[in-house]
Structure 1
Amino acid sequence: MTTVDLLQEFEQNYSVNTADITAKIGQLQQLLPSERTAAINEIRKLLSEVEDLLEQMELSVRELEVGSSDRNRYENSVRSFRTDRKNLENEFKKAVQRLQRASDRDDLFDDGVDQEEQLIANTERLERTSRKIQDAYRVTVETEEVGNSVLENLTQQRETLHRARDRLREGDAELSSSNRLLSVMIQRVIQNRLILLVVAVVMMFFLLVFMYRAL
């Protein structure tokens, strides 16, 4: 294979690689974040291969006769290829920077969303805590009201018991008085009966005496 044939093959490889690089750079924006790292590494690898091709082309061009049309032509081609490669490398760097800025914006947006979600969660937690405090306060008030009602009922029951006890005491006093009165009345009845009995005995005695004298 002649030097010119080799240079032509290098040119073909260069065209294929640079076309592949251009296509891959254009696809970076559409790739998923998980796929971008592999694509970026692949582009770097292709740029390195293009650099190797250009170095081989430069070595091969030096083998051509100085001043020949082939040498002049391929020297110009190598210079043009180097400029193209430099432009591709710059375009690649810009694409990576754009992706990085977009990723930073996404991260910032995600942080903002996270902060907003955290704020919403904190607000909801605060509202739940406030409701629990209100419920606890309401239960406390209701408990206090029930306690007051129970205390009032107990007070009323105590007063009722006191009144009942007083009535019982009054009843006991009245019963004692009645018992005493009944005892007095019984005693008087007994006394009256005894008096009647004595009177009857005396009358019988006098009657017997009178009858005896009459005989």
Structure 2
Amino acid sequence: MDNSPTALFDSYEQDFQQIVSSIREKLEGNAKNERGEQRKAALRKVELELDEADEMVSQMEIEIQGIPQSLKPSYQTRIKAAKTDLQRFKKLSKETHAQLARADLLGARAMTPTMDDPYGSDNDRTRLLAGTELLEDGSRRLADSQRIALETEEQGADILRSLRGQREQIQNARDTLQRADTSIDRASGTLKKMIRRMYQQRVVTGAIIAVLIALICIILWFKLVR
């Protein structure tokens, strides 16, 4: 398993590229060339994949916070490119939805009412309502995607704040250990000085005792000899 700080980012980016490739195939293939229900089904799949791609971009924005500062510029450029692609396909999807709605509306208008079909105007209204509902559904999906992105961004911000607090606690603990280490070094130096002075005092005391003994011996010698 790759434990590098960019592994998750690369994984999300790879998933994003796969989703974008699928969206491109649908918008340039089924959603463009098919007609009727097949085209609508392709567009519904595109909307779902756009939501997934949006989620991948949000995850990439979260993961970039943990990437080393020296590597961030290139990854920020990659996120910017991903966002540009996502916005382009969202716009293309919206335009395709609008084209489908216009095609449905024009098809309804082409079916003009006759004496044999007195309910033609009702059919027009039905098609127009269907197109309007389709556009509203697309707008709702876009709003849901934006809401999910905002919620994900808020969650990422909370995680970053939590990590920042933990990092500050670790930093404070490290500073405390450094101060304790400095205090121990100072105490050790003080003890070494005390031990050195104790040995010096012992030497001086021994010398004084030796001198006293020598003086006593000299005094005794003079007294005994005389």
TM-score exceeds 0.5: yes
What residue ranges of structure 1 are gaps of 5+ in the alignment? 1-8, 182-215
TM-score (norm 1): 0.57
Structure 1 residues 107 and 30, CA, compared in 2 at 3 Å: closer, same or farther?
closer
Match of 2:162 in 1: 113
Match of 1:206 in 2: none
Match of 1:199 in 2: none
Is the Cα–Cα contact under 8 Å of residues 10 and 57 in structure 1 kept in the other structure?
Answer: no
Q: How many residues align?
A: 168
What residue ranges of structure 2 are gaps of 5+ in the alignment? 1-33, 61-81
The answer to whether 1:16 aligns with 2:41 is yes
Output the amino acid matched with 1:87: E
The answer to whether 1:51 aligns with 2:98 is yes
Is the Cα–Cα contact under 8 Å of residues 97 and 135 in structure 2 kept in the other structure?
Answer: no
Structure 1 residues 121 and 97, CA, compared in 2 at 3 Å: closer, same or farther?
same
Match of 1:162 in 2: 211
Structure 1 residues 74 and 50, CA, compared in 2 at 3 Å: closer, same or farther?
farther
Q: For 1:82, which of 131, 140, 148 is the aligned residue?
A: 131
Structure 1 residues 74 and 48, CA, compared in 2 at 3 Å: closer, same or farther?
farther
| Residue deviations 1:31-78 (CA, integer Å, cap 9, x gap) | 6835x967776554333212122334444555x364445964663354
Output the amino acid matched with 2:45: D
Give the Cα separation in 1 of the matches to 2:43 and 2:164.
Answer: 44
Output the amino acid matched with 1:16: A
Output the amino acid matched with 1:47: K
Q: Percent same amino acid at aligned positions?
A: 5
Match of 1:174 in 2: 222
Displacement of 1:107 in angstroms is: 2.3
Output the amino acid matched with 2:40: S
TM-score (norm 2): 0.55
Could you tell which deviates more after superposition, 11-20 or 128-137? Answer: 11-20
The answer to whether 1:99 aligns with 2:143 is no
Displacement of 1:143 in angstroms is: 1.5
